[in-house]
Amino acid sequence: MQDIPPQDKSGDAKPHRSLFERLTALIAPEPDSRAELLTILQDAHERHLIDADALAMIEGVFQVSELSARDIMVPRAQMDVVDISKPIAEWMPMVLETAHSRFPAVDGERDNVVGILMAKDLLRYYAEESFDVRQMLRSAVFIPESKRLNVLLSEFRAKHNHMAVVVDEYGGVAGLITIEDVLEQIVGDIEDEYDFDEEEDNILAIKAGEHGPRWRVKALTEITQFNEELGTEIFSADVDTLGGFVTNHLARMPHKGEIVDIGNLRFEVLRADARQIHVLLVEKLPATTADETLDS
């Protein structure tokens, strides 16, 4: 005799499960852990039930709940800040070169963050004779290094913030994190109008740095193309791309903002997620600096 579905107080029957769903529950019980659930999802991908992008996003969601702000923040030393104690003309070239939409504003030193400056507000600098940059600052949000990314993302959405300053246990500035940094852990690299055009070159020459010429390079650039355009002679028998070359050298996945010297080249990870590097800043080092790197 067929069982009659139990009813709730309103008299409505509970949703009826199909025979297939009931058989599946008997054969493959619900996963008991996150690892088991991921294994099931990976198996579903192998059987073409979900595509690779969907699987990567689901894995990214799980990872966000395990990571904290310190894991993906831009380190203090790599932060692009404006020092409002100095004349605007001194830091305006940096604003134009980096093309960020927001900048932490400091007053004399990096630990003294006094607000967030929107790049669009600087348009008034060219239109108003009595422009006061301090009046243009928005309130800064400060979070601890231990803040979980899933909690931070919820706060970003609820309070309509896009940037937070990460502080250590002593109240000093440890780094910077944006909503884009968090979302990239889920959906991968997010490109904007200042990123590479997919149809154009993989290597873009930018303003020379302290040690020499610099380039922004897509991590998927072939090593052979990189050598041809920069006149270098890097080689790897294990990988084909520049991102793979850097990752292989470190024997681990580098973090955003991390810098590694290999021979006479300095690689800085500009964009990366938990799965791969996306964009690198490459700088040629003088021979003396390169020699010191090799000796160490």
The domain that contains 145 carries what CATH number? 3.10.580.10
Domain containing residue 128? 70-187
User: Are 279 and 228 in a shared domain?
Assistant: yes
Q: 294 or 185, which is more confident?
A: 185
**Would you place residue 199 in the very low, low, confident or very high pLDDT band (cuts 50, 70, 90)?**
very low
User: Are 155 and 239 in a shared domain?
Assistant: no
Percent of the chain with pLDDT over 90: 38
User: Are 99 and 154 in a shared domain?
Assistant: yes
pLDDT at residue 106, rounded to an integer: 95
pLDDT at residue 61, rounded to an integer: 79
**Most confident of the ranges 38-42, 138-142, 168-172:** 138-142
User: Where among 187, 216, 236 does a domain terminate?
Assistant: 187
- pLDDT at residue 290 tops 70: no
Q: Which helix (H) or strand (E) holds 216?
A: strand 214-218
Do residues 176 and 104 touch, judged by C-beta distance below 8 A? yes
Q: What CATH number corresponds to the domain at position 291?
A: 3.30.465.10
Question: Minimal CA–CA distance to 88: which of 126, 58, 57, 120?
Answer: 126
Q: State which amino acid sits at residue 208.
A: A
What is the rounded average pLDDT of the residues 207-213? 77
CA dihedral 166, 169, 171, 176 (to 10 degrees): -10
pTM for this structure?
0.55
- pLDDT at residue 10 tops 60: no
How many structural domains does the chain have?
A: 3
What is the rounded average pLDDT of the residues 270-295? 72
Q: How far apart are CA 49 and CA 242, in angstroms?
A: 32
- What mean pLDDT, rounded, does the chain reach? 81
User: Are 134 and 36 in a shared domain?
Assistant: no
Question: Minimal CA–CA distance to 256: which of 61, 75, 69, 95?
Answer: 75
